[in-house]
Structure 1
Amino acid sequence: MIQAIGLTSAPRGDLPPAVDDLTFEARPGNVTVLHGPAAAGKTTALRLMLQLETGRGVALFRGRPLHRVPNPAREIGVLLGDVPGHPSRTARGHLRMLSAAAGVPADRADDVLDLVGLSGLADKQIGDLSRGMDRRLGMAAALLGDPHTLVLDEPTEGLAPREAAWLHGLLRGYAAQGGAVLITSRNSREVTRIADHVVTLHDGRLTADQEVADFARTRMRPRVAVCSPHADRLAALLIDESQRAHHASDPAIGRAIEVVRESGSRIAVYGSSCAAVGEAAFRHHILVHQLTDEVGDTASAAPLHRADGRPASAVAAAPEAVVVTSSEETVTHVDAHIDMTTSTISDIASHSTSRTPGGTAAVSDRDALSDTLTLPVIEMSTSVPHQALPVRSPLAERLVIPRLPAPGPAWPLRYELRRALSDGTGLLVAVVTLLVSLVLALLLARHGAAPTSRVVTGWPRQLPFPPAALGAGLLGSLAFGQEFRYPALAHERGAVPRRLGLLVAKLIVSAVAALALGAAVLAADEASSRLLFGPDAANALSDWPVFSLGWAGLLVGCAWAGVLAAGVFRSTAMGLAAVLAVPVVVMPLVQQVLAEPAARSLSGLPGRLRSSALIQWPSGIDQGVSVVLRLATQPVGGALTLSLAALVCAYVLTVLRHRAH
């Protein structure tokens, strides 16, 4: 159950709000459609419900607002626009990453890929997918956590009729299992084919809240569909005869008609009948290929195959009519054919069926269906509501995930690891950083005047930062920058604990990546210098504990600065700019402060801490405290510490501001 109460978007200057005091419900077991023309406020309403837009009102999902849902991915499946994912990430990698965030098994990705017919394209990159495949992948991502609710924005926009028919069947099957489906659409004919309940918007306000039968009766008009090689000539004759009859006030045919050209040989005639159109064509000797009474449009009758190109095994003898029986009504109208997997078919056709008195066979053995089937789409009459008895097949039960507890600390960490490992950008940054550092180290070793610490880090005095520090900062910037450029977790922004857990996971993974990059740089630079220029090119360091801690602190600090800056400014470029600002802007200020003579110093602080401590610590800790103080009082360490403190405060303020809105 979805309950939207008083949704009102923030004002847009002198313009009225895009959504104004919108209240409606989307019941479980039904497909509810937000219908209206372009700019009616449909997308804004969904974004208000998902807390992606600022405004007033509340949206309850089974009685709870989004920020009180422990795991939104297990409650709400969302598809807004195109599939949000890095174009170089594979379809399987993208879904495995999202499965870690939802706390579901990794093999769930393969199950939903097979469900939407993309199992043969699991290793294909997202950027290479067509529009129809992109929509299938988006549905797979929405169904990943077996949610109770689906929220989809214009899911059939830009799709071919067969792809749209496939998606309609999938959504009807999902609703038949008791799920709540909320979609937006501007196509009235599509609404009558898929909806149970229609909420009509205009200029952000609610204009109608009605069942699909009432919507079809008030919004859809009967028409006559005509196919003829002389369609334009027939249209002109019909309009001319209608106008003459209207002026003559003939009571039999004295009403004006409307003719709409749909294609080169097809027209739609409103306000007439098949008999009148056929007689007019006969009188003027016009060849007619098709003459049909319709209400709205008709879906394509061509079968829809799996998108991954795998062979589909058809049913041996598809019935001419599929009968869905319930306690009250029987529907026997069949229009188009689509393909889908066993679980999808079971969702749509798993009803209590039997052989009708008229002899029409109904589907009764779901287990005999193969992996990919071709069955008719059941198109309901406008006067009969969709009804279904939810019965699951064995495969559908296998796809259902048992309810899990609230997200644990390992869920965001697994998500971040899979995000970093499934994207080649981080590896490319690491390789480039390693090569640049190696070239600089060899140049310093060849010169022979640079100290060993400069050689092994590839850090000439002319550079404010070593290349490894910039590489670590870029890795950290990518960690949060990609979240805003490709917002895979956009619908979970309302769950503040998830965001804080995600921040901690990104800090941990970026720190580990920075340390691994630093260790690789030290090992590669030292080994290459010794190999090319002899053992004297990189002598042993005399104060290696201080050097090791300083090197690790520099890289981890740069990585964290990139993460926090990208999280605050929502951009990878701004995250890297913040890292570059540390040596260029902050460090000169720190150097100026440290250059001034001090009346007092921190000497003897470890001894004073030891004497004031309640528990005597080992003597080795004094040396560690001294090392930390030495690093903190250096210009680079002080600049990083100051920058990190400022970024932490900015990030906290950003989160609090988001919660306030």
Structure 2
Amino acid sequence: MIQAFGLTSNSRKDLPPAVDDVSFEARAGHLTALLGGPGAGKTTALRLMLELQQGRGITYFRGRPLHRIAHPSREVGVLLGDVPGHPARSVRGHLRMLCAAAGVPVRRADEVLEVVGLVSLRDERLGTLSRAMDRRLGLGCALLTDPHTLVLDEPADGLSARESRWLYGVLRAHAEQGGTVLYTAADPKEAARTADRVISLEEGRVAADQEAEAFARTRLRPRVAVRTPHAARLAALLAKEARTSRRSVEVVREDGNRLLVYGSSCADVGETAFRHDILLHQLADEIGDMGARGAQSSTDSPLGSGPVDATPEPGPMSATPEAEPARTVPVTRSTSDDGETPGPAEGTRVPEGEAGEESDPVEGQARSASDEATPEPPPSPRPAPSLPSLPPPISVRSAPSPLRPLRYELRRAAGVGTGFVTGAAVLVVSALTAVFVARVGHTPQARLLAAWPQELPLPPAAFGAGLLGALAFGDEFRHPALAADRGTVPRRLGLLAAKLLVAAATAVVLAALTVGCDAEVLYLVYGRELARVPADWLSSGASWIGLVVGCAWAGVLAAGIFRSTTAGLAAVVAVPVVVVPLVQKALEGPSVRTAAGFPLRLRELLLSQWPFGGERYVAGVARMIAQPVGGALTLSLTALFCAYVFMTLRSRVR
């Protein structure tokens, strides 16, 4: 069950809040529709419920607010807008990545794909999916963790009638299994046809909270649908009789030979047509909406009469001229084996094009209500089709594991080709730079193998590692696959540790490949002399790996703090351009004492002798930190890490 109390959004300057003191309940086992036109506050209400937007009020999901639930994605499945995934990621890869993040078995992705009908499109990229397929994938993402509650924002927006019937059939099946379903809708007829309870919002406030049957009876206007080749003549006759009897009747003429008569009945319209020998092709009751939009009409009231083809003012819920003829059909909320849902509960009016079978046109003259003709026997009820199948429940939940964010990060990084393309570009640029620097000459061997001339602030490998690190968090905010249930990518230390570990491993591989490719290219172009290994290869290699890994970590931390890939890359470039000169100026300034001999004294302080020659590594690390670049990088990483931890703790306090 969902219980929302006093949801109120923050005011926008001098404008009233988009949502003001909204309270309602959505019961388990039922479909609840949040109905309203554009600007009514439907989406804002959902965002307040899911704690995606600041405001007042609280929402309980089975008795607990969302921030008190250990795993929100397992309790609430969310679909807000399009699927928030990288457009280059495959459908199956996206679901598997979410499985790793939620800690559910990977086979769950294939089960969900089969239910939503995307098995044949599992290798398609997200950016190539149509609107209907994107909706199917979004529903699959919401069902992935087997949640109890589904919260969806206009899930049928842009879908065809058949796709909409299938989607609402899946939601009905989820509710039949005891789940709670809350979704927004803009069409009142759709809400009355598909929901069990309708909550109407107007200007950010609850206007009505009703059962679907009561909503259809009180909030939707009943009307008579008439189809005749003499539509203009019948409209004029109905208007004339309404004026004579001083009754309020509204006749809306749609395109073609169809009329919609408000304020009358089938009996009255049929009698009028019968008396004047007018042929009728259809005569049926409908549940319409609150007026006409863009249609020709005739409005007659006891106070006066108007022209037959006058255009009435559109109401707040107006009938569209594209409305299809409708009739009453006894159906159930269920779906056939081919995935089509026949429609709403018994007695609800549905368009003819959406009914389970075609209606027979009424040939000949209309019959009067007083005719004593034998009525046609009602159609025999058909067996109710079965509801769509849902993914099987997850019987065993995986326990919390430190490897879960690591699995997610590995699938995220390997799921798109950005990292591989970036690595290949770094290798090519580094090799060309090494050839050019060797041709110019006067470059130490270590810098030559790293393709790092004095004129460049960073070598290509370090710059590429920083870019990959910035993308690790930058893509999360640009394509927030993890943010569907909480709005923003969570700044969790476990996720940070996974990203730092993967970024470090990628940086080490990139550093080794860069040196190897540079040495091979130098050997091919200039011979063995320029490809030789330096004598101090151990300390130089440690400094080289430390520089590349440090740049990757700087990109990860800065992008996580500022929520931008550009900011992460700027932090990497700022280390040699801004921080290094400041550190050099601080070290070269006038001082009474210096830190000469610091590595030796550090070794004496810790241990006189490390096992396996470990004192060499301690001394190498100390010398690397003592260098301007190493010191600046260490200082930057320390500041960024402290800022990240501070923002993480502040978000938890909130």
What is the TM-score of this pair, normalised by structure 2?
0.82
- Give the aligned partner of residue 402 of structure 1: 395
Identity value in percent:
56
**Structure 1 residue 299: Cα displacement:** 10
Q: 1:220 to 1:541 in 2, by over 3 A?
A: same
- Give the aligned partner of residue 543 of structure 1: 536
The equivalent position to 1:271 in structure 2, one of 260, 263, 273, is: 263
C-alpha distance in 1, partners of 2:539/2:41? 60
- Give the aligned partner of residue 642 of structure 1: 635
Question: Per the alignment, in what secondary structure is the counterpart of residue 70 of structure 1?
Answer: coil
8 Å CA contact 1:510, 1:559 repeated in 2? yes
After superposition, the C-alpha distances for 1:107-136 in whole angstroms (9 at most, x for unaligned) are 211111110111111111111111111100
C-alpha distance in 1, partners of 2:277/2:386? 37
After superposition, the C-alpha distances for 1:274-296 in whole angstroms (9 at most, x for unaligned) are 34434555667766443321124
5+ residue gaps, structure 1, are 302-311, 325-329, 339-357, 364-374, 378-392
After superposition, the C-alpha distances for 1:505-529 in whole angstroms (9 at most, x for unaligned) are 1111111111111111111111111
- Give the aligned partner of residue 140 of structure 1: 140
**Structure 1 residue 487: Cα displacement:** 1.2
Matching of residues 88-107 of structure 1 within 5 Å: 88-107=88-107
**Structure 1 residue 179: Cα displacement:** 0.6
Question: Per the alignment, in what secondary structure is the counterpart of residue 584 of structure 2?
Answer: helix
The equivalent position to 2:383 in structure 1, one of 334, 347, 362, is: 362
**Structure 1 residue 28: Cα displacement:** 1.1
C-alpha distance in 2, partners of 1:520/1:137? 38
C-alpha distance in 2, partners of 1:104/1:545? 44
C-alpha distance in 2, partners of 1:9/1:323? 34
C-alpha distance in 1, partners of 2:20/2:338? 49
Q: 1:426 to 1:290 in 2, by over 3 A?
A: farther
**Structure 1 residue 633: Cα displacement:** 2.2
Question: Per the alignment, in what secondary structure is the counterpart of residue 64 of structure 1?
Answer: coil
After superposition, the C-alpha distances for 1:173-230 in whole angstroms (9 at most, x for unaligned) are 1111111101011211111111112222222222222222222221122112234566
**Which deviates more from structure 2 when the two are superposed, residues 115-124 or residues 645-654?**
645-654
- Give the aligned partner of residue 480 of structure 1: 473
8 Å CA contact 2:223, 2:285 repeated in 1? yes
**Structure 1 residue 422: Cα displacement:** 0.8
**Structure 1 residue 607: Cα displacement:** 5.1
**Structure 1 residue 606: Cα displacement:** 4.8
**Structure 1 residue 497: Cα displacement:** 7.7
Matching of residue 257 in structure 1 with residue 278 in structure 2: no
Structure whose alpha-carbon radius of gyration is higher: 2
The equivalent position to 1:411 in structure 2, one of 404, 407, 418, is: 404
Question: Per the alignment, in what secondary structure is the counterpart of residue 441 of structure 1?
Answer: helix
Matching of residues 115-194 of structure 1 within 5 Å: 115-194=115-194
8 Å CA contact 2:603, 2:618 repeated in 1? no
Which AA in structure 2 matches 1:464?
P
Which AA in structure 2 matches 1:137?
L
Q: 1:264 to 1:407 in 2, by over 3 A?
A: farther
C-alpha distance in 2, partners of 1:465/1:190? 60
Question: Per the alignment, in what secondary structure is the counterpart of residue 213 of structure 2?
Answer: helix
**Structure 1 residue 13: Cα displacement:** 1.7
C-alpha distance in 1, partners of 2:20/2:608? 63
Matching of residue 556 in structure 1 with residue 549 in structure 2: yes
**Structure 1 residue 359: Cα displacement:** 7.5
Question: Per the alignment, in what secondary structure is the counterpart of residue 226 of structure 1?
Answer: strand
Equivalences, count: 588
- Give the aligned partner of residue 197 of structure 1: 197
8 Å CA contact 1:70, 1:407 repeated in 2? no
Question: Per the alignment, in what secondary structure is the counterpart of residue 146 of structure 1?
Answer: coil
5+ residue gaps, structure 2, are 289-322, 328-335, 357-378
C-alpha distance in 1, partners of 2:347/2:252? 31
8 Å CA contact 1:412, 1:498 repeated in 2? no
The equivalent position to 1:622 in structure 2, one of 615, 619, 634, is: 615
- Give the aligned partner of residue 354 of structure 1: none
**Structure 1 residue 470: Cα displacement:** 1.3
**Structure 1 residue 257: Cα displacement:** 2.4
C-alpha distance in 1, partners of 2:518/2:344? 74
8 Å CA contact 1:322, 1:362 repeated in 2? no
Matching of residues 115-514 of structure 1 within 5 Å: 115-228=115-228, 233=232, 238=235, 240-248=236-244, 250=245, 254-260=246-252, 263-280=255-272, 288-296=280-288, 336=354, 360=381, 362=383, 375=385, 399-493=392-486, 499-514=492-507
Which AA in structure 1 matches 2:108?
R
Q: 1:263 to 1:642 in 2, by over 3 A?
A: farther
Q: 1:536 to 1:615 in 2, by over 3 A?
A: closer
8 Å CA contact 1:459, 1:465 repeated in 2? yes
**Structure 1 residue 407: Cα displacement:** 3.3
C-alpha distance in 1, partners of 2:196/2:348? 18
C-alpha distance in 1, partners of 2:255/2:636? 64
C-alpha distance in 2, partners of 1:87/1:536? 47
- Give the aligned partner of residue 580 of structure 1: 573
- Give the aligned partner of residue 3 of structure 2: 3
8 Å CA contact 2:491, 2:560 repeated in 1? no
Q: 1:300 to 1:88 in 2, by over 3 A?
A: farther
Question: Per the alignment, in what secondary structure is the counterpart of residue 492 of structure 2?
Answer: helix
Q: 1:64 to 1:224 in 2, by over 3 A?
A: same
C-alpha distance in 1, partners of 2:344/2:622? 80
C-alpha distance in 2, partners of 1:589/1:273? 87
Which AA in structure 2 matches 1:527?
E
Which AA in structure 2 matches 1:476?
G
Which AA in structure 2 matches 1:479?
A
Matching of residues 11-30 of structure 1 within 5 Å: 11-30=11-30
- Give the aligned partner of residue 347 of structure 1: none
**Which deviates more from structure 2 when the two are superposed, residues 427-436 or residues 260-269?**
260-269
Which AA in structure 2 matches 1:255?
R
8 Å CA contact 1:175, 1:181 repeated in 2? yes
Which AA in structure 1 matches 2:218?
T
C-alpha distance in 1, partners of 2:23/2:596? 67
C-alpha distance in 1, partners of 2:20/2:344? 43
8 Å CA contact 2:194, 2:344 repeated in 1? no
**Structure 1 residue 618: Cα displacement:** 3.8
**Structure 1 residue 93: Cα displacement:** 0.9
**Structure 1 residue 247: Cα displacement:** 4.0
After superposition, the C-alpha distances for 1:70-110 in whole angstroms (9 at most, x for unaligned) are 22222111100011111111111111111111111112111
- Give the aligned partner of residue 624 of structure 2: 631
**Which deviates more from structure 2 when the two are superposed, residues 202-211 or residues 289-298?**
289-298
The equivalent position to 1:533 in structure 2, one of 513, 526, 539, is: 526
- Give the aligned partner of residue 71 of structure 1: 71
Q: 1:228 to 1:89 in 2, by over 3 A?
A: farther
Question: Per the alignment, in what secondary structure is the counterpart of residue 439 of structure 2?
Answer: helix
Q: 1:323 to 1:481 in 2, by over 3 A?
A: closer
C-alpha distance in 1, partners of 2:103/2:325? 38
Question: Per the alignment, in what secondary structure is the counterpart of residue 200 of structure 1?
Answer: strand
**Structure 1 residue 486: Cα displacement:** 1.1
8 Å CA contact 2:7, 2:45 repeated in 1? yes
8 Å CA contact 2:286, 2:326 repeated in 1? no
What is the TM-score of this pair, normalised by structure 1?
0.81
C-alpha distance in 1, partners of 2:247/2:9? 45
**Which deviates more from structure 2 when the two are superposed, residues 636-645 or residues 507-516?**
636-645
8 Å CA contact 2:19, 2:205 repeated in 1? yes
8 Å CA contact 1:156, 1:167 repeated in 2? yes
Which AA in structure 1 matches 2:88?
S
Which AA in structure 2 matches 1:447?
V
Question: Per the alignment, in what secondary structure is the counterpart of residue 24 of structure 1?
Answer: strand
Q: 1:281 to 1:417 in 2, by over 3 A?
A: farther
Q: 1:268 to 1:539 in 2, by over 3 A?
A: same
C-alpha distance in 2, partners of 1:314/1:38? 34
Question: Per the alignment, in what secondary structure is the counterpart of residue 255 of structure 1?
Answer: coil
